[in-house]
Amino acid sequence: MNTHGSEVKVFGRTRPTANFAQDLIEYVPDGQTVNVHLRKDSKKGIVNNQLNSWSFRLDRVLHDVSQEEVYNGVAQSVVLGALDGYNGTVMCFGQTGAGKTYTMTGATESYKERGIIPRALQEVFREVEQRSDHNITVHLSFLEIYNETLLDLLSSVKEIPAGAPRAVAIVDEGGGSVTVKGLSIHLVHNEEEALNLLFEGEMNRIIGAHTLNRNSSRSHCIFTVHIESHSRTLSDAKYVTSKLNLVDLAGSERLGKTGSEGQILKETMYINKSLSFLEQAILALADRRRDHVPFRQSKLTHALKDSLGGNCNTVLVANIYGEAAQIEETLSTLRFASRMKCVRTEPAVNEHVDPVLQIKKLQKEIQLLKQELSVQDTLANRTVMSYNGFTENQVAEIQSQVRRYLDGTVDDINIVSIRQVKEVFVQFKLALQQQEQKTRAEMIQGCTQEEKAQSTQSAAHAKGTNGMVGDVDGPSFGAGMASTLEKNNRLQSPHRSKIKKGKDINRKEGAASPAQVREAEALSTSRMNPLLVSQKDMEGQETELQNQDSQGPQAGDREHFRTDSPPPKAAAFEDFKAERGSEINRILKENKSVLAERRRRLRELTDGVNGAKQEIDRTGVQLQLQRDQSNRHGRFVSAGGEPVLEEAELALLLRLQDLKGQYRHQYKELRSTKAEVNYCEHLVDQCRTRLFSEFESWYNESFLIPEETQAILRAGGPTIQPGLIPMAKALALEEDDQEHFEHLRSQLLTSPGAISYFNAHDRTLQRRNYSRTITHKLQQKRITGDNGRTKLPAILSVS
């Protein structure tokens, strides 16, 4: 059987008869084609266009052939495929009495004339014996569909176990397959057991009396062989399963022809209906554009859902009763056969994995790999490594290593295995989480203390500082150190700041040409980038902008002040802070004042801690002196022989204890205040970054980006908004259009003089537009008396 994508195999088989309609049915010698010729209907007149010749091409025409030949040609490959794990279906279709049951089951009284099912069972068990390297189990089930009712033809064979569903129903499984719940499945060990079940089922089959054929079966029957094959030799967890469906369909017939009535009429109607649904399903399967196949319209199509096409090897035998009286049924059967031939199949092995075996296999493989690693370690002279999970002690050791690494006691952590690296990362993460929790708790505690201190107006708070600026560095007593920020502030000399300021003014205020504007933009963007600009830089920049404004334009800068030039950035910055940026500026100021207050408190606490330390040192010296003196004079001894403390020594000891307690308390508060200072510095930084970035956007859009470009940006909808795209990009946008136009024109005008002329003309127009925009803005300002330059288009979000 072809296991690659192909069509359903279709065979035609004729029932032998002495009255074979030779003039109507023609078997072409190629063995594949059947031609049917009908006589013109004389009732429709001498001249009519009624079609009266058809040609059907099948896979093979089985005319006058033995049962053995039929089995070998039709079913053998499907049966062998099923043993290899492919689902298979052999189905007989045709009118009543055409030989479907004869083909499928055969004549029970003659061994020679046995049909496909007994031969298939024989083949299966022959193969089971031959394939001794496989453990193959075979189960059988026999389903009958009679008048749209599902019946288990083998239910009489053994008692149905308690709890098992009695009603038979078709259930859709995942992956498009179906199972028949409630249908008994019987394990068979040999051919004889299997045949017994087949005959038992046949006996149970409902036989209806019929005028055309007294033994005609009036139901569809599906005999299924379930095969499961495990390899005996390989310890492979994979195994295959398959379903071999051998289907004997009820005969199609015309109601009027059989003269059926009563029960037979009802049966015939059911049969015809289900066969018509089968035909519809086949049509849908054959049409590759259709993604829905109406399988659920009848019990027959539903039960055969995974047996028609799909991943199944499907074969159809079209049984023909070749007499002249049956010619219309023959035609109808051949039409069905040719439609079935268009259905594509893609057979695939039903492979499964035995979970228990798979686990065993993987465990074995892990063991092997561990052994391999041990060998490699020995060869590489590595110390004996363990590849099992870490014990609690080993985890604790790694944790301690990480701690020592973090506090600087060790410089390296030796990497010995991937597992160890993973554990090291876990410990790093844990350490980070703990630190975060600690900091958060300290901050919360600090805030509470601060609130308390403010409400009680404590004396310590009101006490002035002695001017000693210092910060305790680490837990050792009194080792004071100026903070990085303070140092930076002190180091930043006025001279240095002035030089920088001068440079910045020249750079920014001279921004008249687009190229210069872009350069300034690039420079200022890099300066304003919150990721690149340090707090020191930002503070310096803020001061610079303020200073520029307070000093006014320098003599050298004044020459840049033309009506078409943007205003100095410093002045614009002040305007911006007063209006558009007033809210963020207010928040910045508030944050700065909180920061200043916290820094002051930090200084107070540092003084306090230093003072306490000095007092502890002094008291310690006094205590030592007192002890020396007491030792010199000789100590009093108690009744128990213990030396007794003198009153002065005891007083000093108590004071020392008191001072240490005080020191610890103050030091704790100092640490939490330090954390608060850091946090406030971060807030101030964020506000400052936002103030600058909003100012930059506003300044660019108000004074640098030409009106036309802004219009283009506004027209760009919500995705392109002024204020949300960088200056350089905005100018590039304008330039792209311009370049495009220039390019176009240079193609049109061949004279170089004319191109230069237009270029110069355009530059003049550009300049005029630019100065007109600025003049317009200045006029607006004068009319409204408004200090604001223009509206900020969009607020930049601070990340």
Give the footprint of ligand ATP on this chain (CB under 6 A): 15-16, 94, 96-102, 107, 213, 216-217, 250-251, 319
Indicate the burial class of 717 (C-beta count within 10 angstroms; 0-12, 13-18, 19 or more): exposed
Q: Which CB sits closer to ligand ATP, 184 or 216?
A: 216
Q: Which CB sits closer to ligand ATP, 107 or 468?
A: 107
Of 661, 675, 513, 663, which Cα lies nearest the Cα of 602? Answer: 675
If you write DSSP's letter for every residue of 621-671 in order, what string do you get? Answer: HHHHHHHHHHHHH---B-TTSPBPPPHHHHHHHHHHHHHHHHHHHHHHHHH
Contact criterion met (CB below 8 Å) for 113 and 67: yes
**Closest approach of ligand ATP to the CB of residue 200, in Å:** 19
Q: Which CB sits closer to ligand ATP, 16 or 661?
A: 16
**Closest approach of ligand ATP to the CB of residue 51, in Å:** 27
Q: Which CB sits closer to ligand ATP, 12 or 722?
A: 12
Query: Could you identify the residue written with the tokens 């066969």?
Result: 275
**Closest approach of ligand ATP to the CB of residue 11, in Å:** 12
Q: Which CB sits closer to ligand ATP, 101 or 700?
A: 101
Overall residue count recorded for the chain in this entry: 799
Q: Which CB sits closer to ligand ATP, 337 or 612?
A: 337
Q: Which CB sits closer to ligand ATP, 92 or 595?
A: 92
Write the single-letter amino acid at 571: A
Q: Which CB sits closer to ligand ATP, 329 or 607?
A: 329
H or E segment to which residue 400 belongs: helix 392-406
Q: Given its phi and psi angles, is residue 791 left (phi above 0), alpha (psi -120 to 50 degrees) or beta?
A: beta
Of 314, 353, 295, which Cα lies nearest the Cα of 171? Answer: 295
**Closest approach of ligand ATP to the CB of residue 185, in Å:** 25
Measured CA to CA, the distance from residue 73 to residue 53 in angstroms comes to: 28
Measured CA to CA, the distance from residue 745 to residue 739 in angstroms comes to: 10
Retrieve residue 313's tokens: 């090897």
**Closest approach of ligand ATP to the CB of residue 362, in Å:** 53
Distances (CA, A) of 544 to 100, 173, 505, 691, 767: 102, 76, 9, 15, 30
Q: How many CB atoms lie within 10 A of CB 441?
A: 11
Binding-site residue numbers for ATP are 94-101
Measured CA to CA, the distance from residue 417 to residue 398 in angstroms comes to: 12
Measured CA to CA, the distance from residue 357 to residue 353 in angstroms comes to: 8
Helices 582-633 and 647-699 sit at what angle, rounded to 10 degrees? 160
Query: Could you identify the residue written with the tokens 């719940």?
Result: 181
Measured CA to CA, the distance from residue 508 to residue 569 in angstroms comes to: 7
Distances (CA, A) of 754 to 231, 293, 739, 747, 766: 89, 72, 17, 12, 18
Of 98, 22, 10, which Cα lies nearest the Cα of 330? Answer: 98
Q: How many CB atoms lie within 10 A of CB 186?
A: 18
**Closest approach of ligand ATP to the CB of residue 272, in Å:** 12
Contact criterion met (CB below 8 Å) for 117 and 105: yes
Binding-site residue numbers are 94-101
Q: Which CB sits closer to ligand ATP, 217 or 313?
A: 217
**Closest approach of ligand ATP to the CB of residue 81, in Å:** 25
**Closest approach of ligand ATP to the CB of residue 36, in Å:** 19
Q: Which CB sits closer to ligand ATP, 102 or 699?
A: 102
**Closest approach of ligand ATP to the CB of residue 255, in Å:** 15
Q: How many CB atoms lie within 10 A of CB 514?
A: 17
Contact criterion met (CB below 8 Å) for 781 and 692: no
Q: Which CB sits closer to ligand ATP, 268 or 345?
A: 268
**Closest approach of ligand ATP to the CB of residue 107, in Å:** 5
**Closest approach of ligand ATP to the CB of residue 251, in Å:** 3
Of 102, 43, 31, which Cα lies nearest the Cα of 317? Answer: 102
**Closest approach of ligand ATP to the CB of residue 67, in Å:** 8
Q: How many CB atoms lie within 10 A of CB 103?
A: 26
**Closest approach of ligand ATP to the CB of residue 27, in Å:** 15
Q: Which CB sits closer to ligand ATP, 74 or 237?
A: 74
Q: Which CB sits closer to ligand ATP, 333 or 338?
A: 333
Q: How many CB atoms lie within 10 A of CB 20?
A: 18
Measured CA to CA, the distance from residue 77 to residue 590 in angstroms comes to: 89
